[in-house]
Amino acid sequence: MIIDKQTLNHYESRYRAKLINSLAGMKQAVLVGTQSTDGQPNLTVFNSLIHIGANPPLWGIICRPDTVKRDTLDNILETGQYTLNYVQTGDFEKVHQTSAKYDQSVSEFEACGFTALYQADFHAPFVAEAPVKVAMKLEQKIDISINNTILIIGSIEQIELDESLISADGFVFLDQANLLACSGLDAYYEAHLIGRLSYATTDKWPTKLV
Protein backbone atom coordinates (compact mmCIF):
# COMPACT_ATOMS: atom_id res chain seq x y z
CA MET A 1 0.00 0.00 0.00
CA ILE A 2 1.34 3.43 -0.96
CA ILE A 3 -0.24 6.58 0.46
CA ASP A 4 0.89 9.68 -1.40
CA LYS A 5 0.53 13.26 -0.24
CA GLN A 6 -2.56 13.87 -2.36
CA THR A 7 -4.29 10.87 -0.79
CA LEU A 8 -3.32 12.04 2.68
CA ASN A 9 -4.80 15.46 2.03
CA HIS A 10 -8.11 13.90 0.99
CA TYR A 11 -8.48 11.76 4.10
CA GLU A 12 -11.06 12.84 6.70
CA SER A 13 -9.23 15.08 9.18
CA ARG A 14 -9.55 12.86 12.29
CA TYR A 15 -8.57 9.75 10.33
CA ARG A 16 -5.52 11.55 8.95
CA ALA A 17 -4.56 12.81 12.42
CA LYS A 18 -4.71 9.32 13.92
CA LEU A 19 -2.74 7.85 11.03
CA ILE A 20 0.12 10.37 11.12
CA ASN A 21 0.28 10.58 14.92
CA SER A 22 0.37 6.82 15.50
CA LEU A 23 2.78 6.21 12.60
CA ALA A 24 5.41 8.25 14.46
CA GLY A 25 5.66 5.30 16.84
CA MET A 26 5.77 4.62 20.56
CA LYS A 27 7.00 7.37 22.86
CA GLN A 28 7.19 8.10 26.56
CA ALA A 29 3.81 9.01 28.05
CA VAL A 30 4.45 12.19 30.05
CA LEU A 31 2.11 13.92 32.47
CA VAL A 32 2.88 17.64 32.41
CA GLY A 33 2.09 19.37 35.70
CA THR A 34 1.60 23.14 35.88
CA GLN A 35 -0.03 25.69 38.13
CA SER A 36 -1.49 29.07 37.25
CA THR A 37 -0.29 32.28 38.88
CA ASP A 38 -3.38 32.22 41.11
CA GLY A 39 -2.73 28.66 42.31
CA GLN A 40 -4.95 26.49 40.08
CA PRO A 41 -3.18 23.18 39.28
CA ASN A 42 -3.34 21.57 35.85
CA LEU A 43 -2.28 18.14 34.59
CA THR A 44 -2.38 16.69 31.08
CA VAL A 45 -0.71 13.95 29.05
CA PHE A 46 1.83 14.71 26.30
CA ASN A 47 3.39 12.25 23.86
CA SER A 48 5.89 14.62 22.25
CA LEU A 49 8.87 14.70 24.61
CA ILE A 50 12.05 15.52 22.65
CA HIS A 51 15.67 15.27 23.77
CA ILE A 52 17.32 18.53 22.68
CA GLY A 53 20.73 18.17 24.31
CA ALA A 54 22.62 17.07 27.42
CA ASN A 55 24.95 20.02 27.99
CA PRO A 56 23.01 21.96 29.07
CA PRO A 57 20.29 19.36 29.69
CA LEU A 58 17.36 20.47 27.51
CA TRP A 59 14.10 18.76 26.59
CA GLY A 60 11.29 19.95 24.36
CA ILE A 61 7.55 19.35 24.10
CA ILE A 62 5.23 20.28 21.25
CA CYS A 63 2.09 22.25 22.10
CA ARG A 64 -0.90 22.54 19.80
CA PRO A 65 -1.76 25.92 18.27
CA ASP A 66 -2.89 28.48 20.85
CA THR A 67 -5.94 29.45 18.78
CA VAL A 68 -8.00 28.30 21.78
CA LYS A 69 -7.15 28.55 25.45
CA ARG A 70 -4.43 26.08 26.45
CA ASP A 71 -4.10 26.01 30.24
CA THR A 72 -0.83 24.05 30.23
CA LEU A 73 0.82 26.37 27.72
CA ASP A 74 -0.49 29.49 29.44
CA ASN A 75 0.78 28.31 32.83
CA ILE A 76 4.23 27.49 31.45
CA LEU A 77 4.56 30.86 29.75
CA GLU A 78 3.28 32.80 32.77
CA THR A 79 5.26 31.00 35.51
CA GLY A 80 8.26 29.58 33.63
CA GLN A 81 7.98 26.27 35.51
CA TYR A 82 6.45 22.85 34.83
CA THR A 83 6.99 19.21 35.74
CA LEU A 84 7.33 16.07 33.63
CA ASN A 85 6.07 12.91 35.30
CA TYR A 86 6.40 9.29 34.12
CA VAL A 87 3.73 6.97 35.53
CA GLN A 88 3.27 3.22 35.54
CA THR A 89 1.28 1.11 33.11
CA GLY A 90 -1.52 0.41 35.59
CA ASP A 91 -2.47 4.09 35.52
CA PHE A 92 -3.06 4.28 31.74
CA GLU A 93 -6.80 4.98 32.01
CA LYS A 94 -6.22 7.82 34.47
CA VAL A 95 -3.46 9.18 32.25
CA HIS A 96 -5.75 9.16 29.22
CA GLN A 97 -8.50 10.92 31.16
CA THR A 98 -6.25 13.93 31.77
CA SER A 99 -6.62 14.76 28.06
CA ALA A 100 -10.31 15.56 28.57
CA LYS A 101 -11.21 19.24 28.23
CA TYR A 102 -11.96 20.07 31.85
CA ASP A 103 -12.92 23.59 32.85
CA GLN A 104 -9.99 25.70 34.01
CA SER A 105 -11.37 25.67 37.56
CA VAL A 106 -11.13 21.85 37.73
CA SER A 107 -7.92 20.17 38.86
CA GLU A 108 -7.11 17.17 36.66
CA PHE A 109 -5.13 15.80 39.59
CA GLU A 110 -8.34 15.40 41.58
CA ALA A 111 -10.63 14.60 38.65
CA CYS A 112 -8.38 11.80 37.34
CA GLY A 113 -7.16 10.29 40.60
CA PHE A 114 -3.61 11.60 40.91
CA THR A 115 -2.02 13.33 43.89
CA ALA A 116 -0.45 16.77 43.49
CA LEU A 117 2.94 16.96 45.21
CA TYR A 118 4.58 20.32 45.90
CA GLN A 119 8.23 20.93 46.70
CA ALA A 120 9.70 23.99 48.33
CA ASP A 121 10.79 26.78 45.97
CA PHE A 122 9.08 25.20 42.95
CA HIS A 123 5.72 26.51 41.75
CA ALA A 124 4.52 23.63 39.56
CA PRO A 125 3.14 20.42 41.12
CA PHE A 126 4.54 16.93 40.61
CA VAL A 127 2.55 13.70 40.39
CA ALA A 128 3.17 11.95 43.72
CA GLU A 129 2.59 8.51 42.17
CA ALA A 130 5.20 9.00 39.42
CA PRO A 131 8.40 6.90 39.74
CA VAL A 132 10.20 9.53 37.65
CA LYS A 133 9.67 13.23 38.34
CA VAL A 134 11.49 16.01 36.48
CA ALA A 135 11.36 19.72 37.32
CA MET A 136 11.63 21.94 34.25
CA LYS A 137 12.37 25.63 33.69
CA LEU A 138 11.17 27.34 30.51
CA GLU A 139 14.09 28.47 28.37
CA GLN A 140 12.65 29.17 24.92
CA LYS A 141 9.34 29.25 23.04
CA ILE A 142 9.58 28.62 19.32
CA ASP A 143 6.59 29.27 17.07
CA ILE A 144 6.46 26.80 14.20
CA SER A 145 4.83 28.75 11.40
CA ILE A 146 4.16 25.83 9.06
CA ASN A 147 1.31 24.53 11.27
CA ASN A 148 1.17 27.05 14.15
CA THR A 149 2.31 24.55 16.76
CA ILE A 150 4.71 25.65 19.50
CA LEU A 151 7.95 24.08 20.63
CA ILE A 152 8.58 24.62 24.34
CA ILE A 153 12.22 24.09 25.30
CA GLY A 154 13.02 23.72 28.97
CA SER A 155 16.09 23.01 31.06
CA ILE A 156 16.13 20.24 33.63
CA GLU A 157 16.24 21.66 37.14
CA GLN A 158 15.85 18.44 39.13
CA ILE A 159 15.36 14.71 38.55
CA GLU A 160 13.82 12.38 41.10
CA LEU A 161 13.95 8.62 40.56
CA ASP A 162 15.11 5.43 42.28
CA GLU A 163 18.88 5.20 41.95
CA SER A 164 18.58 1.47 41.23
CA LEU A 165 17.28 2.41 37.76
CA ILE A 166 20.58 4.09 36.84
CA SER A 167 23.43 1.91 35.58
CA ALA A 168 27.13 2.50 36.26
CA ASP A 169 27.53 4.36 32.95
CA GLY A 170 24.50 6.60 33.54
CA PHE A 171 21.94 4.75 31.40
CA VAL A 172 18.43 4.79 32.88
CA PHE A 173 16.50 1.50 32.65
CA LEU A 174 12.99 2.94 32.43
CA ASP A 175 11.52 -0.47 31.62
CA GLN A 176 12.43 -1.69 35.11
CA ALA A 177 10.00 0.85 36.58
CA ASN A 178 7.16 -0.53 34.43
CA LEU A 179 6.59 2.90 32.89
CA LEU A 180 3.85 3.72 30.44
CA ALA A 181 4.52 4.34 26.74
CA CYS A 182 2.02 5.62 24.20
CA SER A 183 1.35 5.98 20.49
CA GLY A 184 -1.00 8.39 18.81
CA LEU A 185 -3.83 9.85 20.85
CA ASP A 186 -5.31 6.77 22.49
CA ALA A 187 -2.96 3.74 22.49
CA TYR A 188 -0.82 2.75 25.47
CA TYR A 189 1.99 0.21 25.79
CA GLU A 190 4.35 -1.57 28.12
CA ALA A 191 8.01 -1.15 27.13
CA HIS A 192 10.52 -3.99 27.44
CA LEU A 193 14.27 -3.76 26.85
CA ILE A 194 15.60 -5.94 24.02
CA GLY A 195 19.25 -5.10 24.68
CA ARG A 196 21.92 -2.41 24.81
CA LEU A 197 24.76 -2.36 22.30
CA SER A 198 28.28 -0.95 22.30
CA TYR A 199 29.13 2.25 20.42
CA ALA A 200 29.01 1.60 16.66
CA THR A 201 32.29 1.85 14.73
CA THR A 202 33.16 0.88 11.16
CA ASP A 203 35.82 -1.70 12.12
CA LYS A 204 33.72 -4.10 14.20
CA TRP A 205 30.20 -5.27 14.84
CA PRO A 206 28.59 -4.00 18.08
CA THR A 207 28.62 -6.20 21.14
CA LYS A 208 25.83 -6.60 23.66
CA LEU A 209 26.17 -4.56 26.84
CA VAL A 210 23.04 -6.04 28.42
pLDDT for res 66: 66
User: Which among 141, 136, 140, 142 is positioned nearest to 155, based on CA atoms?
Assistant: 136
Residues sharing a CB contact under 8 Å with residue 139, sequence separation 6 or more, in sequence order: 58, 153, 154, 155
Q: What is the pTM of this model?
A: 0.91
Check residue 65 and give its pLDDT. 80
Domain ranges of the chain: 26-190
Alpha carbon distance 110, 149 (integer Å): 29
Tens digit of each residue's pLDDT (9 = 90 or more) over 167-181 = 988 999 999 999 999
> Residue 151 — left, alpha, or beta (φ > 0 → left; ψ -120 to 50 → alpha)?
beta
Average pLDDT taken over every residue of the chain: 92
Query: What is the widest separation between alpha-carbon atoms in the chain?
Result: 60
- Res 161: pLDDT: 93
Examine the pLDDT at 68 and tell me if it is beyond 70.
Answer: no
Spatial contact of 22 and 67, defined as CB atoms under 8 Å apart: no
> Where is mean pLDDT largest: 3-7, 111-115, 168-172?
111-115
- For 26-190, CATH gives 2.30.110.10
State yes or no: pLDDT of 117 exceeds 90.
yes
Contact 62, 32 (CB under 8 A): no
pLDDT per position as a tens digit, 13-27: 888 888 888 887 889
